[in-house]
Amino acid sequence: MTVRIGVIGTGAIGRDHARRIQHVLSGGTIVALSDVNRASAEAVRADIAPDATVYATGQELIAAPDVDAVLVTSWGTTHEEYVLAAIAAGKPCFCEKPLATTADGAKRIVDAEVAHGKRLVQVGFMRRYDEGYVALKKVVDTRIGAPIMVHAAHRNPTVPEAYVTPMAIHDTLIHEIDVFRWLLDDDYVSARVTFPRSCARTHAKLRDPQIVTLTTAKGTVINTEVFVNCHYGYDIQCEVVGEDGIAKLPEPVSIRMRLDAKLQNDILTDWKDRFVASYDVELQDFLKAAAQGTASGPTSWDGYMAAVTSDACVAAQEVEGQSVPITLPTRPALYA
C-alpha cells in the first residue's frame, strides 16, 4: 500500500520532506500540499509532486478524502491546531518539533490522542534515528551497566542576533532533552543551570555558554554544555558513564588526513549536515506505521515531556545555580 501524504507548510523542511517521500523513501506519495504562502505550495507541486492538489488551508487538506496521513511542517505556532485536527480526522500525523509552543498545548494533544485510543502522532525528534545514537543506546542498554552520569555538549559555531538566552533551551537543548529521556529510558526530576563567564563572541541578551544539569528519576545526573558561539564548528558530544564502563557517541564519519603538519579530520560547521541521514529514517518509520493507520517513534507524550522540561530549564536559567523541580505527570497507558 502506498500512503497518500499531505504536507502542511512547504518551507525548507516541508519541501525537503516532500522530496524524501517522492524520491528517496518507499511506500509514500505526496498527494496534497498547503501553505500560508500558496506560491510556496505551488512551487513544491511543480518541482516535486506534479500530481498533488494544493489546498488553501491545512484544515481542508486534512479533511481531503484522498489524504491518508499528514506532515505538519508549518510555523511552530500552528502545529497544535493541525495536529489536533489530524487526530480528530483519525489520520496519522508527523509533526516537526515543537509539538506545541506550550506545555499546555502539548498536553491538549496528548489528551486528544489518548481519547482517540490509538497512536496517531509522531514528533520529529530525528536524533533517535541517528546511526550513532542508535548504536550508543544499544551499548548503554547492554554493555556498560546502569547509567549514572552523562557528559554532553551541544555546540554551534555561531547564532543570529535574535537568539536570546531561553532559546538555548527551546531551540538547542530541546534535542538533548528528548534524546536523553529515550537513551536512558528515564524521566527528569530537576534542572539546574550554571553560567560560566560569557564568551566574548556573544551579545547582551545571550548568556553563552551555559551548563544545564538534569537529574533523572533514577538518579542519573546529566551535564550538558550548551555553547552556541563556540566558533570552531557544529559539534554534538555525549558520553554515558555506567556502573561498568563508559560509552561515547561516535564522531560523524570523516576522513582522517595528515596534512600541513596536522593529523586532522574536518568538523562540520552546518547543523543541517549533522543528522541529515536520520530524517530519511524517521520518515520511513512514519510511512511504515501510517500504512497501518497508526504512528511510531517519538510520541505526543515525548513532545509534552520535552515541553515541560524545557519550561523548567528556562525557569532554572532565571534562578542560576538553584535546582528547579520537574513535576512528572502520570503517563497514560497509551505511551507505556
Residues between 232 and 261 that touch a second copy (CB under 8 A):
232-233, 235, 241, 243-251, 253-261
CB of 189 to a second copy, least distance (A): 12
Residue 273 as a binder of a second copy (CB under 8 A): the answer is: no
Q: How far, in Å, CA of 95 to CA of 122, rounded? A: 6
CB of 2 to a second copy, least distance (A): 10
Q: Within 17-36, which residues bind a second copy (CB under 8 A)?
A: 22-27
Q: Considering beta carbons, is residue 114 or 241 the nearer one to a second copy?
A: 241
Single residue of 43, 144, 276, 324 touching a second copy by CB under 8 A = 144
Residue 204 as a binder of a second copy (CB under 8 A): the answer is: no
Q: Which residues pair with 4 in a beta bridge?
A: 29
118's CB contacts (< 8 A; 6+ apart) are 293, 294, 334
Residue 141 as a binder of a second copy (CB under 8 A): the answer is: no
Q: How far, in Å, CA of 325 to CA of 315, rounded? A: 10
Single residue of 63, 88, 148, 324 touching a second copy by CB under 8 A = 148
What Å distances lie between residue 115 and 119, 121, 192, 276, 303, CA to CA?
A: 10, 13, 35, 34, 17
Single residue of 215, 300, 309, 310 touching a second copy by CB under 8 A = 215
Q: At what angle do helices 38-47 and 12-19 cross, to 10 degrees?
A: 20
Q: Considering beta carbons, is residue 40 or 210 the nearer one to a second copy?
A: 210
Rg from Cα positions in the chain? 20
Contact in structure between 302 and 93 (CB atoms under 8 Å): no
What's the N-to-C CA distance of the chain in angstroms?
Answer: 29
Region binding a second copy by CB under 8 A among candidate stretches 6-14, 54-62, 99-107, 223-231: 223-231
CB of 222 to a second copy, least distance (A): 9
Single residue of 180, 227, 286, 304 touching a second copy by CB under 8 A = 227
CB of 106 to a second copy, least distance (A): 28
Residue 51 as a binder of a second copy (CB under 8 A): the answer is: no
Q: How far, in Å, CA of 30 to CA of 20, rounded? A: 10
Residue 16 as a binder of a second copy (CB under 8 A): the answer is: no
Contact in structure between 216 and 188 (CB atoms under 8 Å): yes
CB of 293 to a second copy, least distance (A): 18
Contact in structure between 68 and 3 (CB atoms under 8 Å): yes
Residue 159 as a binder of a second copy (CB under 8 A): the answer is: no
Single residue of 143, 203, 205, 272 touching a second copy by CB under 8 A = 143
Residue 225 as a binder of a second copy (CB under 8 A): the answer is: yes
Could you tell me how many residues of this chain bind a second copy (CB under 8 A)?
75
Q: Which residues pair with 123 in a beta bridge?
A: 95
Q: Within 85-124, which residues bind a second copy (CB under 8 A)?
A: none
**Given its phi and psi angles, is residue 185 left (phi above 0), alpha (psi -120 to 50 degrees) or beta?**
left
CB of 140 to a second copy, least distance (A): 9
Q: Considering beta carbons, is residue 13 or 211 the nearer one to a second copy?
A: 211
**What does the angle CA 277 – CA 283 – CA 288 come to, to the nearest 5 degrees?**
130
Region binding a second copy by CB under 8 A among candidate stretches 10-18, 32-40, 51-59, 264-272: 264-272
Q: Within 275-314, which residues bind a second copy (CB under 8 A)?
A: 284
Ordered strands of the 53-55 beta sheet = 53-55, 28-34, 3-8, 69-72, 93-95, 121-123
